[in-house]
Amino acid sequence: MSEHSSDTDMVTGTVKWFDPVKGFGFIVASSGGPDILLHVNVLRNFGQSSVADGADVDVRIQHTERGVQAVEVLSITPPTHTDSSSLSDLAHMDATAVADAPLQPGRVKWFDKGKGFGFANVFGSSEDVFLHVEVLRRSGLSDLQPGEALALRVIAGKRGHMAAEVLAWEAALPKEEA
């Protein structure tokens, strides 16, 4: 028998911070209590390699000798506080038109969080799609890795194609019924 309980509890909380380079971050439970460790491997099992600070999450937790840890991510809701001033291409777009744009499969070419942008390619097209860090935050992500698979809603921006919504590939897949 393991010294750790295999019982898990479901908790709703908010991402305090997450650093994909360090490979972990912390969640603050809505009900209070100690911070909850969120390891990148648990996040990857959900299909993402990062999560935006301030995102709401539902997780299963386990109490261990080292504290409370998330063992499964059940859902992520992007933060609602975003600054759209740096997204002039999206500011005048009809939200319904963006939502109606089809999800397209793509892959990250590169993304530089420090610069706040990067590029992806939609499968079957050689044209670059601009990725803005604020669109990632709106989508519940904070960073992307080269080669990472995505689902993108692409619109025609003032300077070319740009992502209006970015989803981790696994999060965009329809849920199979058990």
* Domain ranges across the chain: 9-77, 84-172
Asked if domains 9-77 and 84-172 share a fold, the reply is yes
Separation of CA 145 from chain center: 12
Average pLDDT of span 30-40:
94
What is the band of 160 on the pLDDT scale with cuts at 50, 70, 90? confident
Q: What is the CATH number of domain 84-172?
A: 2.40.50.140
Residues 6+ apart with CB under 8 A from 175: none
Q: Cα(141)–Cα(125) distance, rounded to whole angstroms? A: 24
Average pLDDT of span 148-167:
88
- Spatial contact of 60 and 40, defined as CB atoms under 8 Å apart: no
The whole-number pLDDT of residue 3 equals: 42
Q: Which CATH class is domain 9-77?
A: mainly beta
The whole-number pLDDT of residue 4 equals: 42
Computed over every residue of the chain, the mean pLDDT equals: 84
Q: Cα(25)–Cα(14) distance, rounded to whole angstroms? A: 11
- Spatial contact of 139 and 111, defined as CB atoms under 8 Å apart: no
Percentage with pLDDT > 70 across the chain:
84
